[in-house]
Each structure stands twice: as C-alpha cells, then as structure tokens.
C-alpha cells in the first residue's frame, strides 16, 4: 500500500516538474539586437541577430561569416561545424550566439544559424 502511494506521489511530482520546465523554457528568450549595438552588449551575453551573409569562408571544422545589416554595419560570426549547412552569400540568416572579442573586435560565436 505504501509503495503505491509513494509511486503516485513521485509520478505526480515528476509530471508537475515537467510542466514547470516547459513554461520556464517558453519564457526564456534570447535578446535580439541590431548589429550596430553589438559594442553595448557585455562579453559572454547570448544575443540574436538577423542579417545578410556578405562573405562565407569555410574550413574543415569552422565556418566564418560576415553578416551585415542594411549595408551599414557588419559583424563576424564563427560557426563550428557539427553538421553540413549550406550557407550562400546573399542569404538572410537568423543567428543566436555568444558575444566574444578577438583582436579588439566583437564577434559572435554561433550556437544556431537558421536561413530565413
């Protein structure tokens, strides 16, 4: 009898925990910024940008992108290859990643790249 009661309580708590995680994950969003404001964001912050691919440089494990916004501002994006993705100059992309700095310039280490 006690095992059944304990099992029911554990099952209910697990179910409520999963529901709670679902709602928390729905509210967790990455801040979208304009490329022109990238210097105002702290290093290590997660951001989202939308822009046009101006240049693609492929190597074995990394893809280097130059993303522009309205031809006025651009940012370098580093994407570590874990799967093949066909990135073409002139395409528009939605990128989420972490702000980093290399040689005094801000760049984004991409976590996800979606062609839009």
Residue 96 dihedral angles phi and psi, to the nearest 5°: -115, 135
* CATH number belonging to domain 31-115: 2.40.50.140
**pTM for the full model?**
0.71
pLDDT digits (tens, 9 = 90+) for 46-85: 999 999 999 999 888 899 999 998 777 889 999 988 776 7
Distance CA 9, CA 48 (A): 41
Question: What pLDDT sits at residue 17?
Answer: 95
Residue 4 dihedral angles phi and psi, to the nearest 5°: -65, -45
Q: What angle do CA 8, 12, 18 make, to 5 degrees?
A: 145
Query: Two tokens at 3?
Result: 């095992």
Average pLDDT, rounded, for the chain: 88
Could you tell me which residue, 110 or 41, shows the higher pLDDT? 110
């Amino acid at each position: 009898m006690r095992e059944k009661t304990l099992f029911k309580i554990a099952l209910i708590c697990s179910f409520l925990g999963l529901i709670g995680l679902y709602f928390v994950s729905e509210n967790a969003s990455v801040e979208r910024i304009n490329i022109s404001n990238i210097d105002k964001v702290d290093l290590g912050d997660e951001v989202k940008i939308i822009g046009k691919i101006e240049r693609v440089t492929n190597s074995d494990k990394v893809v280097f992108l130059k993303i522009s916004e309205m031809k006025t501002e651009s940012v370098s994006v580093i994407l570590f290859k874990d799967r093949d993705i066909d990135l073409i100059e002139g395409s528009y992309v939605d990128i989420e990643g972490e702000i980093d700095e290399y040689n005094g310039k801000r760049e984004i280490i991409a976590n996800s790249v979606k062609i839009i």
